Amino acid sequence: MDTGQFDDSELTRYAEKRHLPKPDGLAEGADFVAENDDGHKLLFCFYDKEKEDFFKRLSNRALEEDKSKFRTIWFLVFLTHEEIAKCRQVDKADSWPRGFFLCMEEITEKALEFHGDTFGHPGTVCLGNKGDHRFRGKIKHFKAEVMRNDPVSEKDDCEHFKIRFKAPELKYMVPGQFVMLDTLPVEKRLLLEEAPLSATGKPFEYGNTFDLKPVSFLKRPFSIHRAFYRYFDSGYLRNMSLPPTLATISHTHFPDEFEIFYKVLKNGVGTNELKAVKKGDRIQMLGPLGQFQDLSKWRGNGIEEVHLVGGGVGMAPLVFFGQALKFYSFKLKAFIGIDRMETLLYSAPFAPTFAEDKENAYVYIETLSGIGLRPEDIRVSCESLNNTEWKYGRLPDVNYHEGLVTEQYASYLEGLGKMSKILVVTCGPQPMLSALWRITSKFDVPMKVLLEKRMACGIGVCLSCVCRIRKNGVRRYSRVCTEGPLFDAKEIDWE
């Protein structure tokens, strides 16, 4: 990028900053540097195709020396979204490991938003076609490779599982969207299709014994629990904190691995099939589905703090929201509603990968801590806290509530002196959502609801997932799969 093409005649306020010290040390090679009093540095380079090998060396050096501290962060600056999209692909991650991206279109928009009087006429710096390429992400039918599928407890009756899979086809997926997932591996599904009268996979012959065990035939809808990015460990958000104005226009490489947290229903056909899926299996998926949500724009709507309120497995998809919101430097608080503390307890072999203390590890609590929430910002409610024989966890005692999560949240809001700039994002059972709507309405706090509905197709054809909404005083039905699943609470017909 030739920086000489930019007209800086309007930047009279910054004239004295034109002659800056030459970057050295880890910053050597940067076009410009920003540093705060704590020694955290942001290093910026204008992209030049001829210097790709040089950029790779810079990024690798920062990765080796800074590791996961994130005291030094490198940015590549592009002209347009189109250029960024090419370099954010997963197969390009080795060329810019743990690097970040910016584009002049978004920088210009942000500069004019905050300092329009200083930067003058935008036509001198705004280049290319503005627009987020993720809106063009197409729905795909594909096969995902399973990386692991583990229960969160070694108990025989464990109900909760986490399945992690590789799916670069979901690179444009954002919180609030979902996938339709086949609960049988591809190979088993093919056997059923070849021998439809026998669930054993053997061709039907007279005298064969029928296997009357129920078998699924439709895909199931699942939201994403977490996304994983190359060169970024699962807890990187604990240490990384970008200035809010910069965070909302910053990008990394696209994710290529994802995780779903699910509960196995006692008599559920699909979830019992899913828990039997093994590492290396391939499962069919359709996605990403649902409306695209640009969470980075929420700050432009006056939101600075987001409260994640989840009931049971409804907390699982809110972690993905937390990942994105923490990256965008929103303040976060989480309120977990659970039936009993035993449900949260980890004891599976992979628990140490999520917790510092494997004997004291808890579902959701550890994951939320991993995306950067402080212990004081996580609260738990359950029906009974009595007669427990272990510690509750690493949270302050006052953050535990015996009763409903809606009671805990109402009490929390009553203790706040200021309600402005807060948004609630929630998911859970219908009674919880209705109660939370009454509470947030009382305190005039906006709320978004991630609705869960049974679905047969996921693309708006079968109409099995409709819900009643109210817009402009008119009641009508809306398809959760295509017009949601994330809705403004004020648009839902709660009556």
Write out pLDDT tens, residues 78-103: 998 888 988 999 999 999 998 899 99
Mean pLDDT of the chain: 83
Q: In whole angstroms, what is the distance from residue 379 CA to residue 287 CA?
A: 33
Between the alpha carbon of residue 367 and those of residues 270, 344, 391, the distances in Å are 25, 11, 18
β 226-228/331-338 pair status: unpaired
Between the alpha carbon of residue 309 and those of residues 62, 83, 105, 216, 221, the distances in Å are 37, 37, 35, 32, 21
Residue type at position 207? G
Residue-range domain boundaries for the chain: 3-131, 226-491
Q: For 253-271, what is the mean pLDDT?
A: 92
Q: For 276-283, what is the mean pLDDT?
A: 96
Q: Whose CA is closest to 419, among 448, 450, 442?
A: 442
Residue 232 DSSP one-character state? B
pLDDT value of position 206: 43
pLDDT value of position 203: 52
Kindly report each contact of residues 113-117 with a partner whose C-beta sits within 8 Å and lies 24 or more positions away, as own/partner: 113/300, 114/245
Domain 226-491 has CATH 3.40.50.80: yes
Q: Is the pLDDT of residue 279 over 50?
A: yes
- Name the more confident of 203 and 310: 310
Q: In whole angstroms, what is the distance from residue 176 CA to residue 88 CA?
A: 22
pLDDT value of position 117: 59
pLDDT per position as a tens digit, 182-192? 999 999 998 87
The structure tokens listed for 81 are: 């979204």
pLDDT value of position 317: 96
Q: For 27-53, what is the mean pLDDT?
A: 85
Q: Is the pLDDT of residue 321 over 90?
A: yes
Q: In whole angstroms, what is the distance from residue 372 CA to residue 163 CA?
A: 22
Q: At 433, is the pLDDT very low, low, confident or very high (cuts 50, 70, 90)? A: very high
Q: Is the pLDDT of residue 290 over 80?
A: yes
SS3 20: coil
Q: What percent of the chain has pLDDT over 70?
A: 81
Q: Is the pLDDT of residue 270 over 60?
A: yes
Residue type at position 278? K
- Name the more confident of 121 and 35: 35
pLDDT value of position 167: 97
Q: Is the pLDDT of residue 465 over 80?
A: yes
pLDDT per position as a tens digit, 326-347? 999 999 999 999 887 766 766 5
Q: Is the pLDDT of residue 199 over 60?
A: no
pLDDT value of position 111: 81
pLDDT value of position 387: 52
Residue 97 DSSP one-character state? T
- Name the more confident of 69 and 6: 69
Which range (117-121, 311-315, 460-464) has the least confidence?
Answer: 117-121
Q: For 204-224, what is the mean pLDDT?
A: 74
Give Cβ neighbours of residue 461 (< 8 Å, ≥ 6 apart): none
Q: At 15, is the pLDDT very low, low, confident or very high (cuts 50, 70, 90)? A: very low
Give Cβ neighbours of residue 7 (< 8 Å, ≥ 6 apart): 124, 125
pLDDT value of position 125: 42
pLDDT value of position 361: 61
pLDDT value of position 227: 96
Q: Which helix (H) or strand (E) holds 386?
A: none
For 406, phi and psi rounded to 5 degrees? -65, -35
Q: Is the pLDDT of residue 42 over 80?
A: yes
Residue 300 DSSP one-character state? G
Q: At 19, is the pLDDT very low, low, confident or very high (cuts 50, 70, 90)? A: low
pLDDT value of position 386: 64
Q: At 14, is the pLDDT very low, low, confident or very high (cuts 50, 70, 90)? A: very low
